[in-house]
Amino acid sequence: MSDSAAIWQLVAAEAPVPDRLFFHAPCFDGAASAAIALSFLVDRWKWSNVELVPINYRSGRQWVTTDIGDRAAVVDFLYHPGAVFWADHHDTTFLTPELRSLNLAQSAQVALYEPTSKSCARLLFDALPRRFHYPTDRFVELAQWADRIDAAEFDSVEDAVFPTRAALQLTVTLSYGSTDEYCISIVRALRESTVDVVAHLPEVQERFHRAQALVSAGLDRVRSTARIVDNGVVIFDAESAGVYINRYAPYALFPTARYSLGTVRGKHGATLTVMRNPWMDFPSAHLGHIAERFGGGGHRRVGAIVIPQEQAANVNTVVAKVLAAIREYDSRAPRD
């Protein structure tokens, strides 16, 4: 072995293993939660050299057996038994019956779970001061926007599709064509600055204006396939290449639809998003629970299912089953 090779092996062996923070991406609440958690982990637990790791539901059920390292945190995402710090608010977070029966209070890990919280950022904002006396006051606006965005509390469909406010513009840039590197940069920026400052960064504004130019094209693409089916559900099936498909686009076209079920196809497969109309008031099926049956997850008002390219032939079958589940709920629920 050469001297240089021996030196390299020594350096590699002594290099510290980075602490890792996994967060849901691309997602405003995921980024907001990661910003708050990162501050806590660095300030109070003295984590250093923290590696930020975006994660999404393509990980599927193998997530719980994924090696995430000896010292890892997970926020706004599925429960992992190996995390030393975990926080989530999705009631579809536990992938197995065994995990659902866990007594988190007796766990050696820090496990922060509140399914009634509108956002994971809000959960962290409230829980860190209470449990660890860690001040989160500087994140109050971030938590407020995470609540609104994750709960789809927009004033109008125009506000959701063609936003003018800073936080909503930032959300668009995370949703459209964002890379892991971009999501990571937003987390670090939100840790240091306000939502308004981050949203007006040149890179963010450039991405936003580029995305808005594609939103109109995406709206046209949704329009070409969208139709109302039974029980007031608008469905569509669109290719994502070259456009941005806003998940609220169906309500710009059919404002009185009760639900939307959209299939957005890309090079890695398809994503099915099922959502109730946030501007209507009616008893809603639990869409997160429905999505969970097919390897996805979410909340009562919105669920998502990722179907990999090798299973793309199953998309229409899944769509039919989701529609059947909504229909079955509606057959039992009172109608307004």
User: How many domains is the chain built from?
Assistant: 2
Within-domain flag for 215: no
pTM (two decimals): 0.77
Tell me what the mean pLDDT of segment 216-223 comes to.
Answer: 95
Look up residue 63 and give its two tokens.
């997530």
Within-domain flag for 206: no
The radius of gyration computed from the CA coordinates of the chain, to the nearest angstrom, equals 21
Tell me the three state secondary structure of residue 28. helix
> What are the pLDDT digits (tens) for 241-266?
889 888 899 999 999 999 999 999 98
**Residue 143 pLDDT greater than 90, yes or no:** yes
**Residue 110 pLDDT greater than 90, yes or no:** yes
> What are the pLDDT digits (tens) for 38-49?
999 999 999 998
Tell me what the mean pLDDT of segment 92-118 comes to.
Answer: 89
**Domain end (from 148, 177, 197):** 148
- Residue 45 φ/ψ, nearest 5 degrees: -95, -5
**Domain end (from 148, 180, 202):** 148
DSSP track, 149-205: HHTT--SSHHHHHS--SHHHHHHHHHHSS--HHHHHHHHHHHHHS-HHHHHTSHHHH
Q: Is the dihedral of CA 290, 295, 296, 299 positive or negative?
A: positive
24 and 144 share one domain: yes
> What are the pLDDT digits (tens) for 266-316?
888 899 999 999 999 999 899 999 999 998 888 888 999 999 889 888 899
Within-domain flag for 269: yes
Tell me what the mean pLDDT of segment 125-135 comes to.
Answer: 97
Within-domain flag for 49: yes
Within-domain flag for 172: no
Q: What is the pLDDT of residue 298?
A: 85
**Domain end (from 130, 148, 166):** 148
Q: Are 27 and 76 in contact (CB under 8 A)?
A: yes
Within-domain flag for 42: yes
Residue for token digits 């196809």?
Answer: 265
Q: What is the pLDDT of residue 42?
A: 97
Residue 91: pLDDT band (50, 70, 90) is confident
Tell me what the mean pLDDT of segment 153-166 comes to.
Answer: 91
Question: Mean pLDDT score of the chain, rounded to an integer?
Answer: 90
User: What distances in angstroms separate CA 64 from CA 5, 25, 84, 278, 285, one per listed residue?
Assistant: 37, 18, 14, 32, 27
Q: Is 70 exposed, middle or buried (0-12, 13-18, 19+ CB in 10 A)?
A: exposed
Q: What is the pLDDT of residue 204?
A: 96
Residue 315 belongs to what domain range? 224-332
Q: What is the CATH number of the domain that holds 245?
A: 3.10.310.30
26 and 143 share one domain: yes
Share of the chain above pLDDT 90, in %: 71
Report the candidate in 178, 198, 244, 239 with the shortest Cα–Cα distance to residue 217: 244
